[in-house]
Structure 1
Amino acid sequence: MRPSSRTSLLSATLACVAMLLVLALRGADAAEIILSAQDAPAVRQFTAALAAQRPEDQVRFVPIGELAIGTLPPPTTRLILIGEDALVWRLKTAIESPTLIMRVNRLEARRWLNGQRPENVTLLWNDPPLDRQLKLLRLLLPHVRRVGVLFDADSQHLLEPLRQAAAPLQLEIVAREWPNPRDSRPLLELLNDSDVLLGFEAPSLYNPLTAKSLLLTSYARQRALIGPNAPFVRAGSLSSTYSDQDDWLQSLDELLDQPPASWPRALYPTHFKVLSNPQVARALGIALDDDAELARRLAAGEHSR
């Protein structure tokens, strides 16, 4: 055999050994990941997308009803639970598996947690982070100072973290309690005392029954509403940050690459987008940047911290 042939054979053999070594290492690090929620096509689609994104892991879906009556998974299994029903089940179940709980907002979690925070549980908040919404507001309306906020008994606890997030941006939070959405007087007073409204995900305040009155009253006073979420932007608010399925998949992928012991107790998805309503912007005389550019600028600010 000529030297060049022996060299080629040796190179091919080493490449094969290297590939086998990589596959062996991946197999050793492979994790079992169970997604659980109320059974629905969208959840199964999400499971399939995560499995395609992490081919080295064993990713499968188990409906929450089957998980509740079956043998509990071992501590090495990583659980991803989706929705309020799954949160309630996890809080009532003695289980050692590290758990990521998605699609719950701060108000829902507060109602069920009652001040407790079980070990090995990470809450992935579904509602947009307050500081991110305020920074979006600052990008869109750089000259405003007074930010009006409606609250009720369930959402009052969000005011203090909101004020803490507003202070570095030189924004003043003007809050009014709105115990009865049928009574428009608190809203009218707030509109008189503020430059812009910021909504957070409080279903008792921001829902299909209140949307029309709230939006029409706000725009009659030439006040924009930021948030509380993407569906409200489609209904007529100015803009909001949000995370779609691709953002959640990327955020989960980054978390699952880390050992569960390093998972934080709670966090927002690190990936997100911006949705704005151009018609509302034109009606209020507000110049809008491209949504992708707004998201890029917000993300750049978060990554630079």
Structure 2
Amino acid sequence: MQKAVRRVLRVGLRWGLAWAFACAAQAHTVVVVTSDANAGGVETADIVVAELLRLGLHAEDIGRTRAADIPRIVTAKTDTRVYLTLGVESLREVLKANVREPVVAALIPRTALERTVGEFGKRSGAALSALYLDQPLGRQLDLLRLALPDAKRVGLVLGPESLAQQASTVAAIRARGMEPVVGIAVTAENIFAGLKPALEDSQVLLAVPDSLVFNNGTVSSILTATYRARIPLIAFSPAYVRAGALLCVYSTPQQIGAQAAAMVQAQLRGSNSVPSQYPLEFNVRVNDSVARSLGLSLREDQLSEQLRRMERKP
């Protein structure tokens, strides 16, 4: 008898939680979607929620959920008006669920966004706007020139994802009076064959985001190779700078969160098309030990301000 009562209570609790979830979901104007695969997503979600509250939304208007729960939310036919996805997995699950509401995708590199949309985007009729995780190429090249004004030959290693941008990347480098030295790596086996010419004939190596070339399994070996060649690496992540790259330009979770919240607000105000965009605010991170070993004296605050002044010029 007691087992039967406990079983009824458990079933009742599950139904009660599901009903409460559905009711709560219907009240959420904005749903922020995070995933276990993106460690920075939770921190950024906290910032986005705080910023949306500051912009005038009420706490009951904002829902938070994990990517794995998206199918249940969509099935519940909620009153959600905008989905904000943080990371690749979150965007993938939202597009797979065939949502019709606008989607703002943040914490996602441009190449990963294009790959995900190509794979799942046709299944969804949602209007999609992205806040790219990576910095604009022009900003990275301007930082390179500020930090290393004598560098004229810029090494690159391009993989399957970044090869599509080869022409525009080469043009941007040449427009700044430098010459690109391009190595190609189309498989994991020839990454270092592609790295060799980029190091032998260049004065600096620019890391271009590509999941085959730059990942947790390759970055240590790439950094070791640049150190031995005394070729500084301009990275796209503070983690790479901590590991041994010379410097990078990056945006903090606070900066990304504030910009993502502004994009969500624009959607809620009825903007027909919120354009995809790169981070507006940024900082520079320098590895002082690497800089000293190369005979360089670089200040993060000075480089950041110089970059901002360059971008403010008409």
For the aligned pair, the TM-score class normalised by the smaller chain equals: 0.7 to 0.9
Distance of aligned partners of 1:227 and 1:48 in 2 relative to their CA distance in 1, 3 Å threshold: closer
Q: How far, CA to CA, are the matches of 2:262 and 2:101 in structure 1?
A: 19
- Normalised to the residue count of structure 1, the TM-score between the two structures is 0.79
The residue matched to 1:207 in structure 2 has which SS? Answer: coil
Determine whether 1:38 maps to 2:46: no
Contact persistence 1:145–1:172 (CA under 8 A): yes
2:64 to 37, 61, 64: 61
Q: Measure how far apart 1:131 and its partner are.
A: 1.5
Structure ranking higher on relative contact order (CA contacts 8 Å, 6+ apart): 2
Distance of aligned partners of 1:183 and 1:294 in 2 relative to their CA distance in 1, 3 Å threshold: closer
Contact persistence 1:199–1:228 (CA under 8 A): yes
Alignment of 1:253-264 (within 5 A): 253-258=261-266, 259=269, 261=271, 263-264=273-274
Which amino acid is the alignment partner of residue 52 of structure 2?
A: R
Q: Which residue does 2:132 correspond to in 1?
A: 125
Q: How far, CA to CA, are the matches of 2:194 and 2:39 in structure 1?
A: 42
Q: Which residue does 2:203 correspond to in 1?
A: 195
Alignment of 1:263-302 (within 5 A): 263-288=273-298, 290-302=299-311
Q: Which residue does 1:138 correspond to in 2?
A: 145
Deviation track 1:149-188 (CA, whole Å, cap 9, x = no partner) reads 0112232112222123223312222111134456644323
Contact persistence 1:151–1:205 (CA under 8 A): yes
Deviation track 1:45-78 (CA, whole Å, cap 9, x = no partner) reads 5434333333220322122333322324446x22
Q: Measure how far apart 1:293 and its partner are.
A: 2.3
Distance of aligned partners of 1:63 and 1:128 in 2 relative to their CA distance in 1, 3 Å threshold: same
Distance of aligned partners of 1:182 and 1:92 in 2 relative to their CA distance in 1, 3 Å threshold: closer
Distance of aligned partners of 1:297 and 1:255 in 2 relative to their CA distance in 1, 3 Å threshold: farther
Which amino acid is the alignment partner of residue 142 of structure 1?
A: P
Contact persistence 1:238–1:276 (CA under 8 A): yes
Q: Measure how far apart 1:220 and its partner are.
A: 2.2
Determine whether 1:172 maps to 2:179: yes
Determine whether 1:250 maps to 2:253: no
Q: Which protein shows a greater Rg?
A: 1
Q: How far, CA to CA, are the matches of 2:39 and 2:200 in structure 1?
A: 46
Q: Measure how far apart 1:42 and its partner are.
A: 5.9
The residue matched to 1:293 in structure 2 has which SS? Answer: helix
Q: Measure how far apart 1:194 and its partner are.
A: 1.3
Which amino acid is the alignment partner of residue 183 of structure 2?
A: R
Stretch of structure 1 that moved more, 130-139 or 114-123: 114-123
The residue matched to 1:50 in structure 2 has which SS? Answer: helix
Determine whether 1:112 maps to 2:122: no
- Normalised to the residue count of structure 2, the TM-score between the two structures is 0.77
Contact persistence 1:72–1:95 (CA under 8 A): no
Stretch of structure 1 that moved more, 119-128 or 190-199: 119-128
Q: Which residue does 2:8 correspond to in 1?
A: none
The residue matched to 2:104 in structure 1 has which SS? Answer: strand
Contact persistence 1:99–1:121 (CA under 8 A): yes
Stretch of structure 1 that moved more, 138-147 or 210-219: 210-219
Identical columns (%): 23
Distance of aligned partners of 1:82 and 1:238 in 2 relative to their CA distance in 1, 3 Å threshold: same
Give the number of equivalent residue pairs: 273
Stretch of structure 1 that moved more, 211-220 or 31-40: 31-40
The residue matched to 1:261 in structure 2 has which SS? Answer: coil
Q: Provide the alpha-carbon RMSD of the alignment.
A: 2.6
Distance of aligned partners of 1:228 and 1:53 in 2 relative to their CA distance in 1, 3 Å threshold: closer
Alignment of 1:179-218 (within 5 A): 179-180=187-188, 184-218=192-226
Which amino acid is the alignment partner of residue 194 of structure 1?
A: S
2:47 to 41, 49, 62: 49
